[in-house]
Amino acid sequence: MKKRKQRDIIHRWEGNPAITIQSLPFKASDIWNAGAVRVGDTYILIVTIESLSGHKDLYCARSENGYHFTVDAEPFMIHAEDSAFSKYEKISIMDARITYLDDTYYISYIGESEYGFRIGLAKTDDFKKATRLNFISEVDTKGGALFPEKINGRYARLERPADGGRIWISYSDDLVCWGGSEAIMSPRKGFWDASRIGDAVPPMRISDGRWLMIYYGIKETSAGPLFRIGAALLDAKDPSKVVARTNIPILSPREMYERVGDITNLVFSCGAVLDGDNLLLYYGAAKSCLCVGITTLDDIVNECIESEGVY
C-alpha cells in the first residue's frame, strides 16, 4: 500500500495542479509561481506567466476557497509598460511577493533587463491597478521579500544576491535607500540545499514571536538543478539570526506535474496564506503549473526545532 500523504511535511492538494496553461483565458507558454494574500474572503494570487514570445508578466488570480482560482484575462502588471521603469524590466517582470505593511499591499518583484535582475517595489489598494515605486536593489539580486512590520523602527527585507547564493537581510528608513546588509543563511554542504538558497515566502510572525521563513534550496545534480522548499525560524527581535532550520525539505518534486515541464524537478514558492492553523502554500511546479500545498504551522515549526542545528 502506498503511503502518499506521509512523504513530505507539505501535503499536496488532490486537485493539483490548481492552475494550468489550459485553464488560462489566453495563450501562454509557462506558469512560474505566485505571490499570495487573503483580502477579506478572497484569496488573491499574483501569478508570473510567460507569454509565447518568452516575456514574463504578472496576472492576478482570485478564489473564494483558496483552491479553485480564476485568472484575470488582463495582466495586472506588464514588463516595460512605464517609461520610468522600463529600462530595468525590458525583458520581464516576475516572482511577485505580497506583503501587507502600513495598511498597504506592497508587491516586490524582479525586473529583468539586459543589465541583469533587480528587485522592484510596487503597491496596490485593490489588486486591479499597481503603482510602481522604485527599484530597491543592486543588479542581480532576486528574492526580495518585505517583512510585514518594521524591525527596530526600520523597514526590512530578505533578498538573494547572486554572489554566494545566500539569503541576506537589508534595512531602510524610506523603502528607497537600503543598507545594513547582512548574510543570514548559507547553503549547507552535503544537504539538499547544498548549492544555492533563497527566500521564498515573505516572512510570517508566528505565535511565539519568531519569524517563519520558507525558503528554497537547490542541489546541483548531473542532470541539472533540483529545486526544493525548506523552512527556518528567525529570532523575534533580530531576524538576521537564524534560530532553527529544517534539515530536510518540507516539499520536494515527486509528482509528474513537478518533475515534467519546461524546467524539470522544480517546486518554487513566492507566497502562502495562513488559514487558522493551516498554511496554504502556493507553489509553481516545473515552471508549467501552479499548485497548492497544505500543512499546519505546527508541523513546519516542529520540524525546524527538531532539526539538529546545522545552519
Q: Which residues bind other proteins (CB under 8 A)?
A: 87, 114-118, 134-141, 159, 161-164, 166, 168, 170-173, 176-181, 183
What does the DSSP assignment read for 69-108?
-EE-SS-SB-TT-SHHHHTT-SSEEEEEEEEEETTEEEEE
Choose between 64 and 140: whose C-beta lies nearer to other proteins: 140
Contact between 288 and 41 under an 8 Å Cβ cutoff? The reply is no
Chain CA centroid to CA 208, Å: 23
CA distances 216 to 22, 147, 204, Å, are 27, 17, 16
Give 12 or 97: the residue with its C-beta nearer to other proteins: 97
* Residue 14 vs 174, nearer CB to other proteins: 174
Output the nine-digit C-alpha cell for 207: 505565535
**Residue 274 in grid coordinates:** 495562513
d(CA 270, CA 263): 17
- Closer by beta carbon to other proteins, 164 or else 224: 164
Q: Please, which residue, 11 or 118, has the CB nearer to other proteins?
A: 118
**CA Rg, the chain, in Å?**
18
